[in-house]
Structure formats: structure tokens, C-alpha cells
Structure 1
Amino acid sequence: MRICIFGAGASGGHFAVKLANAGHAVSVVARGPHLAAIRSSGLTLKLKDRVMQASVAATDDPATLGPQDAVIVTVKATGLAAVADNIAPLIGPETVVVFPQNGMSWWYPLALPADKPAPPRVPVFALADRFLPHMTIAQIAGGIIYSANEVEAPGVIKNNSPARNRLDFGPIDGRAPGVFAPLRDAFTSSGLEAPEIDDIRQTVWHKLLITASGSTISLATRNKAAISKTDPALGGVYIRIVRELLAVAAAHGYPLARELDPDKMLQGLLDHKPSLLQDYEQGRPMEIGEMVVSLIDFARAADIAVPTYDALAAITARLAIDKGLYSPA
């Protein structure tokens, strides 16, 4: 397959190396020193037991690549507006476009099942007006990444989750997930997990509850996610947050209590810096709106009290605002 990774940073770079080594025609859209390093020396992926390398077509101008079979947009939510302005040359009538961002995604209200409550007005939803001129709803797949990676140096990706590297993706319009089988097969052939997902919105809520609980505590304390597992007081905060957010998800039509056990989630926290903390420390724009504040909006829309999460969300938002990495507007 011709596959473009739009934003070959941590997870995107990981996917690019694996897919290229499986024989797919992989290209990446990147920028700055990372782009220069990829052009010069290719991409390097450091795994627990080995190092993989790949030579891929790399550019900061998607117009040089032409239409693809699949485009995987792995930029953070804060970079989606720039993607909307530049993605058109990559899209043909049969192109599949996967959006695996953390947090509440821009496509969530599109083709929302009639039995689900109308969502609140979240700023990221406005991006639909910028993406839909270039693709149809039928071409869009929502996605969620389960893979802990970091850019160790320009062109070098380090993987911190050797036992779990997965992309869950599925159509946003309720069709059977088999419509994206060729891309799923491409991932499987590269050694990455890509299970069929019947309801991508439920998957989004599932990941959002995992990231919002651990990541907000990690950011507020400037510790790796596992701090909630080793500090009993923070562990109690973590448990209360998960329970509050489970109530929010259920109010919006996605009951997840059978899937997400707060105590098991706590024990499964990784000794890894979540992306929110990585961005804060490195002075990069932060996904506070999509990963943190959006859940407050959904809670208020459903009249669900989330006192523990509300307090922590306000603290983490303030940290980002004071550093100029997030604007509530």
C-alpha cells in the first residue's frame, strides 16, 4: 500500500518504520530537524530487544507525494488545523484517512448515532468545516493509539511499551469495520496490532478515560504516570477521577464500567511520561482542550458532578496557560 504518515513524530515514526520494513510504500510529512535527519539518515526505531531502520520518502510539502491509499494523521490535536490546510494533495476518491489523536476528536459529532445525546460545543469540532471539503465522511476513520514512544533525537524514536503497540481504528459513520481491511492487514503484516473496532466512539471514550486520569495527575505532579501507583494519596485521587469520568461516559451513551476497573487501571500504569507532561517540559503546544477540558464540557452538558477531576483539570490548564502552551480561547 501507499501509506503516508502525516506527522512522523513519536508514534507516527514508529508506525512508519514498521510499515516500511513490511514492504509498504511509506512516506512521511515532517518538519524541522526531524525532517532533515530523516532525509539524511532515515528513521531509526529503538525497541527493547533490537533497533530497526527505514528509508522513507520525507517532505514538508504533501503536494510532492500525490494521492495515497491511506493517510494516517499522527500529529497532535494542536496541529490539526495546519493539516487541514495541507492534506488535500494526498486524498484521492478511495483514500482512507485515519485520525488517531488523543482526547476528544474533531469528527465526533459527524454521523453520530441517533440514540446518543448531542455533544456540547467543543472547539475542536469546528475543524470539520476545514476537513470535509477534502474528504467524505465515508473516507474517515477515527483512531486510537496504544503505544508509548518518544523522539529521543531527530530521526530517532524510542519505544517504551514493548508489549503493546496497537492502532485501533474504524469508520465514523457506523459501517462495518471491514471496509478498512487492507489497511488493517498492512498493520498486521508489519507486526503492529490493529483489531477490528465496531464502535470507534466507544474506543475514544475508553482511551480518553485512561489518559485523562493518569495524564492529569502526571502533569500536575511532574512525575511519570506510575506515581499514582506508588503514592497512596495520589492513588486515591486517581480512583475518584476514573469513577467520575465513567459516569460522564455513561451519560453520553457509552457505559464502560464493565471494561474499565479503576483498581486494575491503577496497577497497570506505565513508568512513562505521558504526552501531556512531555509537551509541558519541552515547551510544545498542549492538548489540554481536547484531553482535559473537553471532559468538563461533557460533564456539564450531562449535569454530572466531577469535583475531583474538575479541580485537577483547572490546575493543569493553569499550568499550561502560564507557560503559554494553551489558550482557553
Structure 2
Amino acid sequence: MRRHGVRVLSPRGDFTAHAHATDDPAEIGPVDHVFLGLKATAYAACGPLVAPLLHERTTVVAAQNGIPWWYFHRHGGPYDGRRLESVDPAGAVSAVLAPERAVGCVVYAATELEAPGVVRHVEGTRFSLGEPGRGVSARCLELSGAMRAGGLKCPVEPDLRNDIWLKLLGNISFNPISALARATMRQMCRHGGTRRVIETMMRETLCVAEALGCEVGVSIERRLAGAERVGDHRTSTLQDLERGKPLELDVLLAAVVELAEITGVEVPTLRTVHAISDLLALRSAA
């Protein structure tokens, strides 16, 4: 990356970005915003990387799929401040990434790492931001302005949790199924039996979201149609499986099963797929 930059191959036009790259964050020092591109499985161990970048008001923006560790921070209501064991085991993530610093981010971009330093952009340029405590803050507007100046879509949402569930509707179903079946988005959508399983997983997920007061605002059929249009894209979970990396399924699937237990919602299909994909994750890590 130092020698050649990051090459991006995109329908919007190919380009090379020459970012300042270092393996020592102390060279950079404190910054206003830390944008994490790590998998959620790496958060608990990222303290030495993040600590040199923090000053008193530094925000930490985690561009992750699934349920974030800060989900119940400033949530309000009976679950306010609750910790989810599946995404923040024994508080290990909160210990290094304080929820007070968190700004939520939902990524609507499909990409693949084609080679070291080479990213293939399939579609999407939207990165939605939002405060755990809801509302529109100055720090979110500042970061949004910088992102939009770089040519990205970056709305600040008054309640980002609705966006979290909208994105999760696809990730919770397509990601584990793609790894289990070694299938692309188009293949899953066009296989009748698999499509019906995915529809059921989405319905159960919507029930959990509604029990927590969130509205997705998009029908399952429309969500499936959008996924099919992506074509023969391999989900990030399938890419990780093929490369022998840890599977980021706890924040996608285990977290929603845990939330279903908290809210008393029945999710039998999610539980079944979770059990099978969890075994896959354990075997792939062995």
C-alpha cells in the first residue's frame, strides 16, 4: 500500500488512492474520528491499535454489519444500558471501545478484496451515520461532510437502529446461507427452497426488530429483489470462509437469537441456521 496505494476497480470508474499507510498508529497520534474497518471479531483485541489515536472527544465509527456492541447504549426504555453477551462478551469490547465514543455506521456497499491492495467495488456508495442516543449531532454532521466531500453518500439518520435492522435483514440470512451452500447472492435468490428459508429468516428477524420498537420500512420481496440485482457477488462471510478467516456470525445471527430470548420472540429457523453455521465457524477456525 505504501508503494502502490489502494487500487479500486468500480463501475463508477477505476482509480488508485494513495493513503498514508502505517502499521504504527503512534505515528499518526490523536485524531477526531477513528473509522474502523475491522471485523467485529477483532474489536476486543484492537485496543493497542486504537488507543494512540484517541483524544478526549475522538469518535469511534465502526463500519460493521449486524448488531453493534453499543446497541443498548442510550437506548432508553427497559433495555437501556443492557450488554449483549454475543457481541460484547464479558464487556471485552466496551473495555477498549467505550460506547460513549461510538457513532453508528451502516454500510450499503458491496465489495470484494480481489488481491492485496486491490478492491473490487460491486455497487453502493452509501454510509449512513447515527448517534446511539438518536438525534443529529455536530460530530455526525462533521464526519458526514467529510465523507460526502469524498464522493460518498453519507446521510445522518435520526434513528440509525432502523437502518441497522434493514441491512441486517439481508446479512442475517444471506451471509450464513452463502457460507453453508458456497453460493452467490443470485444463486440463493433463484433457488426456490433456499429462497423460502431466507424469507422465513427475514420474517423472524422483522418480528424481533418490531419487538424492540424498530421499523424497517421495506418489504421482504423488495429486499430479495435488491439482493438478486447484486448478481453473483459472494458475501463477506463466504469470502472469509474461502480465505480461512474467522466468520463474523455472532453479530449477525447469534445476537438476534439473544435479542429474541430477551424479547420473548420465537425464532425457530434463525436458531436452526445459527446452530449449523456456528458449527461451521468452529470447524473452519480449528
Is the Cα–Cα contact under 8 Å of residues 296 and 310 in structure 1 kept in the other structure? yes
Is the Cα–Cα contact under 8 Å of residues 86 and 258 in structure 2 kept in the other structure? no
Q: What secondary structure is seen at the aligned counterpart in 1 of 2:130?
A: strand
Separation (CA, whole Å) in 2 of partners of 1:121 and 1:195:
27
Is the Cα–Cα contact under 8 Å of residues 119 and 298 in structure 1 kept in the other structure? no
Is the Cα–Cα contact under 8 Å of residues 103 and 208 in structure 1 kept in the other structure? yes
Cα distance, 1:112–1:84 mapped onto 2, change above 3 Å: farther
Tell me which residue corresponds to 1:263.
Answer: 221
RMSD over aligned CA atoms reads: 1.9
Cα distance, 1:191–1:241 mapped onto 2, change above 3 Å: same
Tell me which residue corresponds to 1:71.
Answer: 34
Is the Cα–Cα contact under 8 Å of residues 119 and 301 in structure 1 kept in the other structure? no
Q: Which of 285, 290, 301 is the matching residue for 2:262? A: 301
Separation (CA, whole Å) in 2 of partners of 1:303 and 1:49:
45
Tell me which residue corresponds to 1:27.
Answer: none
Q: Which of 268, 271, 275 is the matching residue for 1:310? A: 271
Runs of 4 or more, structure 1, over 6 Å off, are: none
Tell me which residue corresponds to 2:239.
Answer: 278
Separation (CA, whole Å) in 2 of partners of 1:116 and 1:202:
17
Q: What secondary structure is seen at the aligned counterpart in 2 of 1:260?
A: coil
Number of positions where the alignment pairs a residue of Structure 1 with one of Structure 2: 280
Q: Which of 105, 109, 112 is the matching residue for 1:143? A: 105
2:104 maps to a residue whose letter is: G
Tell me which residue corresponds to 1:247.
Answer: 207
Tell me which residue corresponds to 1:159.
Answer: 121
2:250 maps to a residue whose letter is: G
Separation (CA, whole Å) in 1 of partners of 2:45 and 2:31:
19
Is the Cα–Cα contact under 8 Å of residues 100 and 169 in structure 1 kept in the other structure? no
Once the two structures are superposed, what CA deviation does each residue of 1:203-239 show, in whole Å capped at 9, x if it has no partner?
2222222210221221221101222321111111111
Once the two structures are superposed, what CA deviation does each residue of 1:260-286 show, in whole Å capped at 9, x if it has no partner?
211111111122111111111110011
Cα distance, 1:45–1:59 mapped onto 2, change above 3 Å: same
Please, what TM-score do these two structures have when normalized by structure 1?
A: 0.80
Once the two structures are superposed, what CA deviation does each residue of 1:65-90 show, in whole Å capped at 9, x if it has no partner?
11123211111101112322321211
Q: Which of 45, 64, 71 is the matching residue for 1:82? A: 45
Is the Cα–Cα contact under 8 Å of residues 120 and 301 in structure 1 kept in the other structure? no
Separation (CA, whole Å) in 2 of partners of 1:117 and 1:254:
15
Q: Which moved more, 1:114-123 or 1:268-277?
A: 114-123
Is the Cα–Cα contact under 8 Å of residues 218 and 225 in structure 1 kept in the other structure? yes
Separation (CA, whole Å) in 2 of partners of 1:119 and 1:210:
25
| 1:176 matches 2:139 | no
Tell me which residue corresponds to 2:60.
Answer: 97
Q: What secondary structure is seen at the aligned counterpart in 1 of 2:2?
A: helix
Separation (CA, whole Å) in 2 of partners of 1:160 and 1:239:
24
| 1:312 shift after superposition | 1.5
Tell me which residue corresponds to 2:6.
Answer: 43
Please, what TM-score do these two structures have when normalized by structure 2?
A: 0.91
1:130 maps to a residue whose letter is: V
| 1:128 matches 2:94 | yes
| 1:245 shift after superposition | 0.8
Is the Cα–Cα contact under 8 Å of residues 69 and 84 in structure 2 kept in the other structure? no
Tell me which residue corresponds to 1:215.
Answer: 175
1:85 maps to a residue whose letter is: P
Cα distance, 1:299–1:214 mapped onto 2, change above 3 Å: same
Tell me which residue corresponds to 1:59.
Answer: 22
Separation (CA, whole Å) in 2 of partners of 1:292 and 1:226:
21
Q: Percent of counterpart pairs with the same letter? A: 30
Separation (CA, whole Å) in 2 of partners of 1:181 and 1:88:
24
